[in-house]
């Protein structure tokens, strides 16, 4: 839970007061109501957070740049408390896109005025001198990045939000995130990985040692560590290929159970071109061949262990086997694959 506090009876009133003050452009009243939002969210009743989330999300374009990111965090906190994320998604991601555009301008102005080490966006204090150097709104956007990442992730944890996200907007957000990462070295890894998550995505897997193939479908898998464990669960645990099968707990924490448990790799993940698919990457790294992502499994070159679990603890993941490929299709696909490099 992002915020804790007391005030079951006062949260709805704080939301109303904040809406009224923002729309009236009354900064003093807005600041008082803003503080009340913080203090009362933790004690709010379920129906209050359910009603507040879409109202606050819709208000985002009118909130000044300073507190705008915190309001996005509050929206995310309401979603974590059970509010419907779908009505909140469009305004949150639209404002995220605008914030990332402002951050891009901040980076450009920073470079134009001498460059150097970027200020830490986690630093709660914003030096007003930065306004003159990089622009007030642009600087505030930079310092709000951690809040926007937190609020956005609370929504992207949900399958319905990810599948409803417009493809062109998703691509725009990914380009902007990547640009910021390249220009500044600032991680934003969680936001990047969340935007790369594939849902209801077909995956063809070829197990080279046995010459067998499998048509699968994956959803909500945050990284290839998680995918690797689920592949072993479905294929080895399902009796389709030899090797070490993960325990029931190892598989469960990669789907929807809490926590992490140690596991050991069963395969080497390889592209059809022979390059390794690193566990540290995401399923989006798997190339598309003939309209479907195609992955080859080879024997592991050495023993590798890691904590089995989910990159996004709040995101449910799954991998299902839809059919076993016939021998002819498997042979045809394998003949088009290069040996591992």
Query: For residue 16, what pLDDT is reported?
Result: 96
Query: For residue 123, what pLDDT is reported?
Result: 80
Query: For residue 5, what pLDDT is reported?
Result: 43
pLDDT digits (tens, 9 = 90+) for 230-266: 999 999 999 999 999 999 999 999 999 999 999 999 9
Query: DSSP per residue over 155-177, as a string?
Result: HHTSHHHHHHS-HHHHHHHHHHH
Query: For residue 4, what pLDDT is reported?
Result: 44
CB atoms within 10 A of CB 220: 22
Query: For residue 148, what pLDDT is reported?
Result: 97
Closest residue by Cα to residue 209 from 170, 236, 246: 236
Query: For residue 214, what pLDDT is reported?
Result: 98
Residue 187, Cα to own-chain centre: how many angstroms?
13
Q: What is d(CA 275, CA 278) in angstroms, rounded to the nearest whole number?
A: 9
Burial class (CB within 10 angstroms; exposed 0-12, middle 13-18, buried 19+) of 124 = exposed
Closest residue by Cα to residue 210 from 128, 267, 172: 267
Backbone angles phi, psi at 279, to 5 degrees: -60, -30
Written as six digits, the tokens of 245 are: 């099968």
User: Among all chains, which residue has been given the structure tokens 């949900």?
Assistant: 158
pTM, entire model: 0.93
Measured distance between the N- and C-terminal CA atoms of the chain, rounded to whole angstroms: 45
Q: What is d(CA 41, CA 52) in angstroms, rounded to the nearest whole number?
A: 10
Residue 176 and residue 100 in contact, taking contact as beta carbons nearer than 8 Å? yes
Query: DSSP per residue over 67-100, as a string?
Result: HHHHHHHHHHHHHHTT--SHHHHHHHHHHHHHHH
Per-residue pLDDT of the chain (341 residues; tens, 9 = 90+): 444 444 446 899 999 999 999 999 999 999 999 999 989 999 999 999 999 999 999 999 999 998 999 999 999 999 999 999 999 999 999 999 999 999 999 999 999 999 999 999 988 789 889 999 999 999 999 999 999 999 999 999 999 999 999 999 999 999 999 999 999 988 799 999 999 999 999 999 999 999 999 999 999 999 999 999 999 999 999 999 999 999 999 999 999 999 999 999 999 999 999 999 999 999 999 999 999 999 999 999 999 999 999 999 999 999 999 999 999 999 999 999 998 87
pLDDT digits (tens, 9 = 90+) for 169-216: 999 999 999 999 999 988 799 999 999 999 999 999 999 999 999 999
Query: For residue 260, what pLDDT is reported?
Result: 97
Query: For residue 3, what pLDDT is reported?
Result: 47
For 335-341, the CB contacts below 8 A with 24+ separation are 336/272, 336/289, 337/206, 337/208, 337/272, 337/273, 337/274, 337/294, 337/296, 338/272, 338/273, 338/274, 339/274, 340/268, 340/270, 340/274, 340/276, 340/296, 340/298, 341/274, 341/275, 341/276
Backbone angles phi, psi at 76, to 5 degrees: -60, -40
């Amino acid at each position: 839970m992002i915020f804790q506090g007391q005030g079951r009876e006062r949260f709805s009133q704080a939301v109303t007061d904040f809406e009224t003050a923002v729309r009236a452009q009354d900064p003093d009243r807005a600041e008082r109501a803003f503080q009340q939002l913080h203090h009362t969210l933790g004690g709010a009743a379920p129906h209050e957070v359910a009603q507040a989330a879409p109202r606050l999300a819709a208000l985002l374009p009118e909130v000044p740049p300073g507190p705008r990111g915190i309001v996005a965090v509050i929206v995310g906190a309401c979603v974590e408390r059970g509010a419907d994320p779908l009505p909140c998604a469009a305004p949150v991601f639209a404002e995220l896109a605008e914030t990332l555009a402002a951050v891009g301008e901040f980076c450009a102005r920073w470079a134009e005025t001498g460059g150097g080490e970027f200020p830490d966006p986690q630093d709660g204090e914003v030096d007003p001198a930065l306004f003159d150097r990089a622009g007030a709104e642009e600087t505030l956007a930079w310092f709000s990045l951690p809040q926007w990442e937190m609020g956005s992730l609370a929504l992207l944890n949900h399958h319905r939000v990810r599948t409803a996200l417009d493809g062109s907007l998703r691509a725009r957000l990914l380009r902007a995130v990547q640009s910021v990462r390249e220009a500044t070295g600032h991680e934003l890894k969680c936001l990047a990985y969340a935007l790369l998550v594939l849902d209801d995505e077909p995956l063809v897997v070829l197990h080279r040692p046995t010459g067998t193939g499998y048509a699968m479908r994956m959803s909500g898998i945050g990284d290839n560590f998680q995918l690797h464990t689920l592949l072993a669960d479905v294929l080895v645990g399902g009796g389709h290929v030899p090797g070490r099968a993960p325990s029931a707990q190892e598989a469960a924490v990669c789907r929807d159970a809490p926590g992490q448990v140690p596991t050991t790799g069963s395969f080497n993940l390889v592209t059809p071109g022979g390059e390794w698919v690193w566990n540290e990457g995401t399923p989006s790294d798997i190339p598309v061949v003939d309209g479907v992502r195609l992955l080859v499994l080879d024997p592991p070159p050495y023993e590798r262990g890691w904590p089995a679990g989910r990159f996004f603890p709040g995101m449910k993941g799954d991998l299902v086997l839809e059919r076993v490929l016939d021998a002819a299709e498997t042979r045809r696909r394998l003949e088009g694959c290069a040996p591992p490099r």
